[in-house]
């Protein structure tokens, strides 16, 4: 039997990168997956790639009214949530002297505020055996220049999972973080202005990683599947680090 047969999963940022890989894997394992993101074109393409057992909703994870709309769609069609994956994220490399209030609010809004309220909105539909997966980053273990807000926001996710492990102890709901290293996704392209610059960024990160390569999104999807399934039934408040060793050297 498929490992997520009959389960309902919600994946923010499920229209590209890690989120899309997770949604595809979950659907393949029998779950009905709700994905949401801001770009309709990317959502349409994601639905084609996933193929079946998927509902796409155009929504901004950092807007509470959009999260209410996503929760309403899930409630009206399925009535329950078994797995929540908070994956939508934003990276902007900014040196400390150049950080603006707008940059700070934008980064924390999507990377720290959105996951908390996503889980809050889905929690009434979750029951025993439910799994919350917060996609963080190995960067919260590291000190990497120009990532003050991003690393701090991802560290907040690690704190959420610890807090919620204690808070949900009587509910049978588990909360864990998944911390990737550098993954070969379109997010890397957003940090460059030209294809050549994007290639150089990928090469630099690969050399910095002990395994001398970037992760593929499917490798993170494998880890997320474990956290979503009953195979990880004795894990909560944990951080699964899938980073090619980069946070350990």
Return the active site residues.
150
CB crowding 66-91: b at 16 or more within 10 Å, else e: bbebbbebbeeebeebbbbbbbbbbb
Strand partners, 56: 35
Q: Say if strands 174-180 and 131-135 run parallel, antiparallel, or are unpaired.
A: parallel
Nearest Cα residue to 154 out of 216, 69, 90, 105: 90
């Amino acid at each position: 039997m498929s490992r997520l047969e009959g389960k309902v999963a919600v994946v923010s940022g499920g229209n590209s990168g890690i989120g899309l890989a997770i949604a595809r894997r979950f659907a393949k394992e029998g779950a009905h997956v709700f994905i949401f993101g801001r770009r309709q074109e990317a959502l349409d393409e994601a639905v084609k790639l996933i193929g079946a057992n998927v509902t796409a909703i155009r929504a901004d994870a950092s807007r509470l009214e959009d999260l209410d709309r996503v929760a309403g769609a899930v409630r009206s069609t399925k009535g329950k949530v078994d797995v929540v994956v908070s994956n939508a994220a934003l990276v902007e490399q900014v040196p400390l002297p150049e950080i603006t209030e707008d940059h700070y609010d934008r980064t924390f809004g999507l990377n720290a505020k959105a996951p908390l309220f996503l889980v809050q909105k889905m929690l009434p539909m979750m029951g025993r055996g439910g799994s919350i997966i917060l996609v963080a980053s190995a960067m919260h273990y590291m000190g990497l220049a120009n990532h003050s807000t991003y690393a701090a926001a991802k560290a907040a996710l690690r704190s959420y999972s610890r807090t919620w492990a204690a808070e949900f102890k009587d509910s049978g709901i588990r909360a864990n973080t998944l911390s990737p290293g550098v993954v070969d996704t379109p997010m890397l392209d957003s940090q460059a202005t030209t294809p050549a610059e994007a290639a150089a960024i990928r090469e630099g990160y690969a050399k910095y990683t002990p395994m001398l390569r970037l992760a593929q999104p499917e490798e993170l999807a494998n880890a997320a599947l474990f956290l979503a399934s009953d195979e990880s039934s004795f894990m909560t408040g944990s951080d699964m680090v899938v980073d090619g060793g980069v946070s350990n050297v």
